């Protein structure tokens, strides 16, 4: 399929943890859907999630028949001696006509570049490349066509970056707000023995525990470590280390040492992001339900179309979608986030 890459504007990239979610996302107006196989080759390797090879093949056919793309997330780091699993994922996806493969590891990028030179490569956020030279390195060495930026840059910085790199930019605009530099976090491995980079898991469910006391106060734990405590009136969040509350000698009480449990929502910044040259907008959440995917995708579809048409964006829908209402524009709006 021939495509004019330079012309990509306002592409809506949506998550799919299951074939049903993928169809839902395509039907709700996604330009592209990203998904992974049922193994450690992708960074959302959760039980009950992801695609068999047969499902992936059908998903590509379904999306292509409706003018949408499918992107394979093969964005973990294969441990030495186990690279065959990643190669098989790449080979199969390429054979199915996948539109791009999202990678983080140099070895995987090299394999695609040498074995499937026609296959489009996107650089995963897991590669952690936020600077001109880092991005150019991947473009020049492996022919990367698009970079998914870490959620750490302001819009003026993105605009400046865009003018100096030879590839497209994809930005996260909605969903979980990861705090740590992706691809460089072994907090989960430290607490559970499972690695985010190698096993594709963050805060695995098997190590999550909830403990309730007599007064119905709830403690959430990951392995042996308490991540947060909630009174009976609060709704407890899923325990991830970088959203936990801790004690430090600098503070009298427990505090969110890294970030509060909060979601990213850049709806208000959409016009500026387009002006800055962002080519594609990514929604996080392959672990989310089908109905969540439908609501979020259709709202963002509408918002992007409105901005592109020069109309006012109706933000109400988008703002209402964030769980618990707590949301942030993170680093995008101000350097003071850092």
Window 93-112: residues binding other proteins (CB under 8 A): 104-108, 110-111
- 36 part of the interface to other proteins, by CB under 8 A: no
Joined together, the tokens standing for residue 72 give: 């394979």
- Cβ closest to other proteins, residue 52 vs residue 186: 186
Stretch that binds other proteins, among 167-175, 248-256, 289-297, 299-307 (CB under 8 A): 248-256
- 249 part of the interface to other proteins, by CB under 8 A: yes
- Which H or E run contains 142? helix 132-142
Cβ-contact 166, 181 below 8 angstroms: no
- Cβ closest to other proteins, residue 175 vs residue 239: 239
Residue 110 pairs with which residues in a beta bridge? Answer: none
What 3-state DSSP class applies to 137? helix
- 317 part of the interface to other proteins, by CB under 8 A: no
Contact map string, positions 137 to 176, toward other proteins, x by CB under 8 A: xx-xx--------x-xx---x-------------------
- 29 part of the interface to other proteins, by CB under 8 A: no
Binding residue for other proteins, selected from 5, 20, 79, 231, defined by CB under 8 A? 79
- 181 part of the interface to other proteins, by CB under 8 A: yes
Stretch that binds other proteins, among 43-51, 136-144, 308-316, 320-328 (CB under 8 A): 136-144
Task: State whether the Cα torsion 181-110-285-266 is positive or negative.
Answer: positive
Interface positions, 182-201, toward other proteins (CB under 8 A) = 183-187, 189-193, 195, 197-198
Q: Are strands 121-123 and 100-103 parallel, antiparallel or unpaired?
A: parallel
> Using CA atoms, how far apart are residues 247 and 53, in angstroms rounded to an integer?
46
Please tell me the count of residues contacting other proteins according to CB under 8 A.
75
CA atoms within 13 A on the CB side of 277: 19
DSSP 300: H
Residue 332 pairs with which residues in a beta bridge? Answer: none
Interface positions, 207-226, toward other proteins (CB under 8 A) = 219, 223-226
Residue 174 pairs with which residues in a beta bridge? Answer: 265, 283
């Amino acid at each position: 399929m021939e495509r004019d890459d330079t012309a990509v504007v306002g592409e809506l990239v949506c998550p799919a943890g299951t074939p049903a979610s993928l169809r839902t996302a395509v039907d709700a107006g996604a330009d592209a859907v990203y998904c992974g196989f049922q193994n450690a080759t992708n960074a959302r390797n959760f039980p009950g999630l992801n695609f068999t090879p047969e499902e992936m093949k059908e998903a590509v056919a379904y999306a292509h028949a409706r003018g949408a793309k499918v992107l394979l997330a093969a964005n973990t780091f294969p441990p030495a001696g186990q690279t065959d699993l990643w190669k098989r994922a790449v080979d199969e996806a390429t054979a199915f006509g996948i539109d791009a493969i999202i990678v983080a590891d140099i070895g995987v990028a090299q394999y695609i570049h040498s074995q499937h030179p026609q296959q489009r490569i996107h650089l995963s956020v897991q590669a952690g490349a936020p600077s001109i030279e880092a991005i150019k390195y991947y473009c020049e060495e492996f022919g990367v066509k698009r970079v998914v930026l870490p959620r750490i840059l302001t819009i003026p910085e993105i605009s400046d970056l865009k003018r100096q790199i030879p590839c497209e930019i994809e930005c996260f605009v909605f969903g979980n707000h990861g705090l740590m530099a992706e691809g460089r976090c072994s907090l989960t491995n430290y607490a559970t023995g499972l690695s985010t980079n190698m096993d594709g898991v963050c805060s695995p469910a098997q190590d999550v525990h909830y403990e309730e006391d007599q007064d119905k106060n709830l403690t959430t734990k990951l392995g042996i470590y308490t991540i947060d405590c909630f009174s009976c009136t609060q709704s407890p969040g899923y325990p991830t280390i970088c959203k936990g509350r801790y004690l430090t000698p600098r503070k009298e009480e427990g505090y969110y040492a890294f970030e509060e449990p909060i979601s990213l929502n850049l709806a208000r910044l959409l016009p500026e992001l387009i002006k800055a040259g962002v080519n594609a907008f990514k929604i996080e959440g392959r672990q989310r339900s089908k109905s969540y995917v439908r609501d979020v995708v259709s709202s963002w579809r509408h918002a992007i179309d409105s901005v592109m048409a020069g109309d006012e964006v109706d933000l109400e829908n988008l703002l209402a979608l964030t769980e618990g209402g707590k949301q942030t524009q993170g680093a995008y709006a101000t350097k003071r986030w850092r």
